[in-house]
Amino acid sequence: MQEAESPSINEIRIRVEALEKEIQLLRGIFDAIQDPLFILGLKQEFLKANSQGIELLGYSWEELQKMDFLDVLALDDLSGVREVFAESNEDRDIRVKVRVVSRGGEKIPVELSGVARQGAWLVILKDLREGIRVEEERAKIRKEFAEKLKERDQYARELQAMKDLYKERLKEIEKMRGEAVLLSHTDDLTGMYNHRFFIQQLTLEVDRQKRYPTALSLLMIDIDYFKDYNDTNGHLAGDQVLKAIAMLIQRAVRQTDIVARYGGEEFAAILINAGREGAREIAERVRRTVARMRFPNESSQPNGDLTVSVGVATFASPSTVTDLIREADNALYRAKRAGRNRVEG
């Protein structure tokens, strides 16, 4: 049998060059893959890694050669990945989300895709950090948007509440004939309307009687023996009593009534749409409300109690503001002379 001819030096050189080109091509393809790529042995030891894989893990190739893939997994994911590798057969793909731990200790979320081929594992890791950052940013934007919507809704509710409040205030302003400058018309101590505003409002109501006759009454209210209380307990205690009685009077009258501090310890109340009997009922309620209240050191008062006397006057045409005030004052003096803590008029 004739022996086969040995290849020539030239043929060997050509084969070697072709093989080197193939190896170079495969190496270029391996490194050209953008995601971290590893070739692992069946025991998950590192056989090959592209530059992206080395960069992701932060280990040098020499260090990786002394390790296996399970060494770079987060402890929480270790058992799960070990089971996945153990259960996967030849030519069966695996896909699982895990965390790998870099040389610097950073836990990096990745999606692991792998397949067993010819006694080795081909593993690609997809870095999920950017996707997570994007999703977190989206979640942040959604949260901020939801908060903006919530703020808008809150603003809308507050705006509606302000509109409703404004409408109510407009009604009050219309009813109170110019209450828009309320602060300039209030008494500093008690917060009630002051004497000036009282006269303005009473004048308006009396003038209205000429055009639209309706029931109108006036109360003059005076604290009994207030000078004695002031002299005994001091002006600060007296101021507290004035403020407390002002509040009690406000509670005892109707919301539509106009109450003012007339001067000193004297108060006045304009009762719109209240005739004599209705006015007396309101006056009695004022007197009774104050009499039931317990004040500090009131037992030292001449009558053993801190009380008020009330004079009632009801408008009768023809009449003037002065006439109405004089009639209420006269009724108040009668209440004082009759023993105080009573209603006259």
Comparing CA positions, the residue from 265, 252, 261 lying closest to residue 308 is 265
* Distance between CA atoms of residues 118 and 338, nearest Å: 121
* Distance between CA atoms of residues 181 and 193, nearest Å: 11
Ranges of beta strands (E only) in the chain are: 37-41, 46-49, 93-101, 107-117, 120-127, 216-223, 258-263, 266-272, 308-314, 343-344
* Distance between CA atoms of residues 265 and 256, nearest Å: 23
* Distance between CA atoms of residues 243 and 239, nearest Å: 6
Instruction: Give residue 1's identity as a one-letter amino acid code.
Output: M
22 catalytic per annotation: no
* Distance between CA atoms of residues 123 and 45, nearest Å: 12
Catalytic residue among 265, 277, 327, 344: 265
Comparing CA positions, the residue from 221, 240, 234 lying closest to residue 288 is 221
- The DSSP line for 73-128 is B-HHHHHHHHHHHHH--TT-EEEEEEEEE-TT--EEEEEEEEEEETTEEEEEEEE-
Please, are residues 287 and 331 in contact by the beta-carbon 8 Å criterion? no
- Active site positions, annotated: 265
